[in-house]
Structure 1
Amino acid sequence: MIENMLAQLPASERKIAEYILEHPRDVVNGTVSELGSRAGTSGAAVIRLCKSLGLQGYQDLKVRIAADLAKPAEPGYRDIEPGESFEAIVQKTTSNSIQSLRDSAEIINYETLRQAVDAMLRADNVHFFGIGASHIIAMDAQQKLLRINKGATAFTDAHLVASLIVNAKPDDLFFCISNSGETPEVIKALSLARESGVKTISLTRYGQSSVAALADIRLYTSSYSTEAPFRSAATSSRLAQLFMIDILFLSMATAQYEKTVGYIDKTREAIQFLKR
């Protein structure tokens, strides 16, 4: 979380964050004022950093750092090299994929996740919107919801999305997907949804962004602040986004288990009918 937020933090909080990354064990054994002094700032800045990270306070920060220190060392993300062997590509891709899911799982706020699942269960229709690679995620989400008899759309045409928003029913939900959180079309659509009183959910990389700031409910994936050139081609981010959609879908399914099983069986039978 600290690595993902580092570049966006104010100077005083960034100094503390950098000190934590370099001396995590000192933080676990120290007080708020000691950390502020060692980082060359103040105890108040430490508390502000905790709030910026979405933590409940300094004790929460210490517990999370202690938990991270107890984990075995992770290999981290590795980019491919010129002339890489197939074996090395498979190994690196596997390692990077697992790491992206792990990192995203660690930043999930479970109260926010509950709010998102409740909103999706109550919605008459969920309108998913993403541009480029994020549209692939939107289509995956739409396919999952349609299979359990939940109204869902996934369009890339901004004009059509705008029409959906202004004509949305009171219980419709607008779910926007943007890894960067700065996709212009998504920002404009979210602004329109806000003006129209439509409830919104965002899925962006972790940290502050225009998209997240506009949404009612904010979901995140790890931002991969050290993303290498080939990984930045929507590979790690795509997997993490699909991971979050799977979590939402399965959470909805378990909340209405019998109904979901019934819908899945019906759609499976319909698909089998088409193959006859």
Structure 2
Amino acid sequence: MLNEYKRKLPPSERKVAEYIIKKPHHAIQLTATSLGEESGTSSAAVIRLCKSLGLKGFQELKLRVSGDLMKSPAVQYSNIEPGETQEAIVEKLTNNATQALKETSELVNYEALGMAVKALKKADRIHFFGVGASGIIAQDAQQKFLRMNKSVSCFTDIHNAAMYIANVSENDVVFVISFSGETLETLKIIELANQKGAATISLTRYGQSAISDSADIPLFISATREVPAPFRSGATSSRLAQLHMIDILFVCVVTDQYALASDYLKEIKESMDFIKSRK
């Protein structure tokens, strides 16, 4: 979190973040006042940093840093190099995927998650949008939420999406997906949805971005390390993390209205059985 956010922080907060990254073992032993003094800032800068990270306070920040220090140093992302053996590729990709899912779960803001679940539950219509690889995630999300007897759409083309969103209302949810958080087409769609008064949810990499800043409810996945093509193992990990968050949202919505969801899922199963029947 600190590494991802530090370049976007104001100077005083950045100094605190860099101090914690450089001396984490020492930083967790300090008070906010002491950390402010040793980093050349103030206790106010420390508290502002916690707020910028979406944390409840300095104590939560120290707990998170302590948790990271207890992790095995062997658990880290590995890039795929030219000429890798198949065994190495399997090991590295599996490790990267596992790490992306673990980091994403650690970054969950449960207040934002609860707000997203509530918005999706009460929505008359849900519109998913993403381009490129994020469009595939949007299609997966549509396929899942169709099971809740909702009016659900998915668009990967900005023109078709704009025509549809032209008629959204405050009872609709527009859910946009962009790993970078800066995709121009996706930013335009969420800005249009905001103008029309729909509830907006974003799913981006962790950290501030134009898209997450524009959303009513920003959700995040791990900021996995991207490497240059063609060996972008990070891109694979980020896709899995996005799918993981969609799964979390869907299961939360289902379990929050289990009896109703069970009826819908039963009807769907019967329909699928009918389609498969040779009679």
TM-score by length of 2: 0.93
Counterpart CA distance in 2 for 1:121 and 1:249 is: 10
Counterpart CA distance in 2 for 1:163 and 1:268 is: 33
**AA in 2 matched with 1:265:** K
Residues 182 and 211, structure 1, Cα contact 8 Å, conserved in 2: yes
Residues 201 and 216, structure 2, Cα contact 8 Å, conserved in 1: yes
Q: Indicate yes or no: 2:41 matched with 1:41.
A: yes
Counterpart CA distance in 2 for 1:175 and 1:274 is: 31
What is the CA RMSD across the aligned residues, in angstroms? 1.6
Counterpart CA distance in 2 for 1:72 and 1:79 is: 18
Q: Which runs of 5+ in 2 are unaligned?
A: none
Question: Any runs of at least 4 consecutive aligned residues in structure 1 with deviations exceeding 4 A, and if so which?
Answer: none
Q: Indicate yes or no: 2:49 matched with 1:60.
A: no
> Which runs of structure 2 are paired with 1:183-222 in the superposition (5 Å)?
183-222=183-222
Residues 115 and 217, structure 2, Cα contact 8 Å, conserved in 1: yes
Aligned to 2:106: 106
Aligned to 1:175: 175
Deviation at 1:213, TM superposition (A): 1.0
Q: Which moved more, 1:15-24 or 1:78-87?
A: 15-24
For the residue of structure 1 that corresponds to 2:180, the secondary structure is coil
Q: Indicate yes or no: 2:156 matched with 1:156.
A: yes
Residues 134 and 178, structure 1, Cα contact 8 Å, conserved in 2: yes
Q: Which runs of 5+ in 1 are unaligned?
A: none
For the residue of structure 1 that corresponds to 2:95, the secondary structure is helix
Aligned to 1:266: 267
Deviation at 1:174, TM superposition (A): 0.4
Aligned to 2:252: 251
Counterpart CA distance in 2 for 1:148 and 1:49 is: 40
**AA in 1 matched with 2:12:** S
Deviation at 1:41, TM superposition (A): 2.5
For the residue of structure 2 that corresponds to 1:202, the secondary structure is strand
**AA in 1 matched with 2:46:** V
Aligned to 1:228: 227
Counterpart CA distance in 2 for 1:114 and 1:204 is: 17
Residues 16 and 36, structure 2, Cα contact 8 Å, conserved in 1: yes
Counterpart CA distance in 1 for 2:93 and 2:66 is: 29
Cα 1:266/1:74, change in 2 over 3 Å: farther
Aligned to 1:115: 115
Counterpart CA distance in 2 for 1:196 and 1:190 is: 10
Deviation at 1:233, TM superposition (A): 6.5
TM-score by length of 1: 0.94
Counterpart CA distance in 1 for 2:46 and 2:28 is: 13
Residues 133 and 234, structure 1, Cα contact 8 Å, conserved in 2: no
Counterpart CA distance in 2 for 1:214 and 1:103 is: 24
